[in-house]
Structure 1
């Protein structure tokens, strides 16, 4: 027996001879207390708006900051935003105090700027995320509250916001917004009285209660509801109370989305009621995505805090009417097609047809094309083209002379590079 045991020990020793000794299991790297935030974008943009001179802009935008590691649920984030103008042959649409300012040139809303973009004290705990300070807020598809991320200077809010997920499948959001920090930069902060017909002031004092909720507890379906109660100190014509709901789900392989909303205090004089609807059907086949969309705004329905660039065409001709509420209604019927190309390129083409909410007038049509290349998780490139052809039917009512006017023919083209770390 002793002999067998000795042989067994000897065999075991031979099997392990030459095998490396196992050291202690390496520990994962601890999360750093301070994480830098770097977001750099360079863009060339061309604009040609009928009755205006052609414009060319070359701008550089940096967002630089840091965020801290969570400590007992608490964290902080600070971020500055800086825009330099290398080619200034355009009108930044931010008033005479901003650079560049040339009212004869086509508008490209990217003024020179240096400002505090975000400053947040946050807390995570008890299924709740709480944020206090200057922050980015985007609800749903940004049709009502967004950050206008296409422009170099994004829109942020001085607010307290919370997100709660304590009920399974339910996400509840609430924000009280004390000030809206718009896209026009710190140099646009001249009082409204200095330029009576100029509305693009940067900081708008407000009293906004925003409630937004979504529910995914039903398999394959997402339900949404919201109430946005908006009051503004220097922009009373923006005031509105908007209530809406949405549903998204798949039916026979087609993704369907529907949204309905009602608005009190619509119109430039806040004396109207108006309805909103948006319906989308999309289908992916052979790695290509096809989508049909119909969006309708009743006359005077306004969305002053929305990322409007994402909706009614990249020419941005409908931005003013949707912001101010001085339009005669809008129906946007669009068809889009997205296809992956060679070398990781993704190409999207969109065709829009525009009329009023009764489709009794014809505002015009638009063609948009976007080419995107993502090189890695930090570096991407984009080219975007938009052409709007107007039919001349009146869309907005100018408030100083009550004249109804149509929309101008507009062409835009841009190329940009993005780096995010």
Structure 2
């Protein structure tokens, strides 16, 4: 019997010799400090067909390099620098009256603006606490509210807009997200060498936002944006405003409905010529048909309704023909934008294609400003690497738009190709 048992154990031993039972793996401890990297190389061409203004081309390299700490009892920190270099200088990176702040300072022979100045600056630096369903962040930070129509980071440009602020996000009530931020400065896209309103919008900025999703598929958002900016020669108080809005989003099968309306009132620092009230409205319907998505919408800005902290590139066409009036750096006579977009993946190379057409006019919906066609191709190689090509053509209807001067009287063409890498 003993002999049989020993033979059995001897025969079984080789079967297990090559696959020993191992202890469960212990994940390596997370590093206390991790680097972050966000790289973008872009070629951009612009042709603003105004008399005396040449076309422009810019090849720029942008690096965002940062460090983020591991969470320690709810506390963490981030610091990030932003560095932008231009290869060649055949473009103006700021309006020609600010010639010393442009890449090509020659106001006697201006070129089409491509607002990517060479700069080295602190992009973000904040201390954060997360706990008890609350996130508190203090310092220079990125702020994007809703679809960025009112407050955003202008992420399309190489140097993004950030805010010197303290912000609080709370989700302790089911289906309700509450947000508040106080900022005393919006650091704009024109870089650390800019001055005045090009460098920053300073003042008292209070941002309230609340989103409720406890009504089935219906999402409701309300916001109050109180912006009392310091007066500068560039804005004379015109951009100061109090804006109160509501957004509703409702999917209905293959259709998604979006509606937003807002009332804007002036502040004590607003000029007497600015009306007491101005209205905003935006409605659209998106229809999903297989791999194709079609969106038909209309956006309306009353005369003197301004959005100085918005990501304006995302609205009214990628040619940026109406950036000045929408920001409020020139008077806004009103904007109406009826648009149709189409998005679909292409059947080759993993490309995604998006195109849109805009009919643009004043707040009387006369559509006398002109029309625009945009097209975008995007290729995502992996989670870190993205390529984008973008084309925009704005066809202006002329120097007048019905009874008013056209704020965008000249044809504009823009084209860009970029590569993005981040980890």
- Indicate whether 1:123 and 2:129 are aligned: yes
The aligned counterpart of 2:327 is 323
1:393 Cα deviation after fit: 5.5
For structure 2, the 5+ residue unaligned runs are: none
1:360 Cα deviation after fit: 2.8
The aligned counterpart of 1:203 is 200
The aligned counterpart of 1:196 is none
The aligned counterpart of 1:197 is none
8 Å Cα contact 2:398-2:406 kept in structure 1: no
1:154 Cα deviation after fit: 0.2
- Count of paired positions: 405
Q: Deviations over 1:232-289 (max 9, x none)?
A: 1134211000000011011242011110101002987443311111111112222111
CA distance in 2, matches of 1:8, 1:177: 80
Q: Deviations over 1:308-367 (max 9, x none)?
A: 000110000111001116122111011011111111100101000011222135110000
- Indicate whether 1:92 and 2:109 are aligned: no
CA distance in 2, matches of 1:9, 1:169: 66
1:108 Cα deviation after fit: 0.6
Pick which of 261-270 and 119-128 moved more.
261-270
CA distance in 2, matches of 1:416, 1:229: 36
Pick which of 340-349 and 227-236 moved more.
227-236
1:102 Cα deviation after fit: 3.5
TM-score where L is the length of structure 1: 0.91
Distance 1:6 1:297, change over 3 A: farther
8 Å Cα contact 2:42-2:59 kept in structure 1: yes
| TM alignment of 1:19-418, pairs within 5 A | 19=16, 20-51=19-50, 52-93=53-94, 95-100=98-103, 101-103=105-107, 104-189=110-195, 191=196, 200-234=197-231, 235=235, 236-265=237-266, 269-324=273-328, 326-341=331-346, 342-392=348-398, 394=400, 405-418=407-420
CA distance in 2, matches of 1:10, 1:224: 76
CA distance in 2, matches of 1:243, 1:294: 20
Query: What is the DSSP-based 3-state SS (H/G/I as helix, E as strand, rest coil) of the residue aligned with 2:193?
Result: helix
For structure 1, the 5+ residue unaligned runs are: 192-199
Distance 1:202 1:6, change over 3 A: farther
1:21 Cα deviation after fit: 2.3
Distance 1:102 1:288, change over 3 A: farther
CA distance in 1, matches of 2:308, 2:362: 19
Distance 1:15 1:286, change over 3 A: farther
8 Å Cα contact 1:348-1:371 kept in structure 2: yes
Q: Deviations over 1:129-151 (max 9, x none)?
A: 11000000000000011000000
Aligned residues: CA RMSD: 2.3
Distance 1:406 1:137, change over 3 A: closer
8 Å Cα contact 1:383-1:416 kept in structure 2: yes
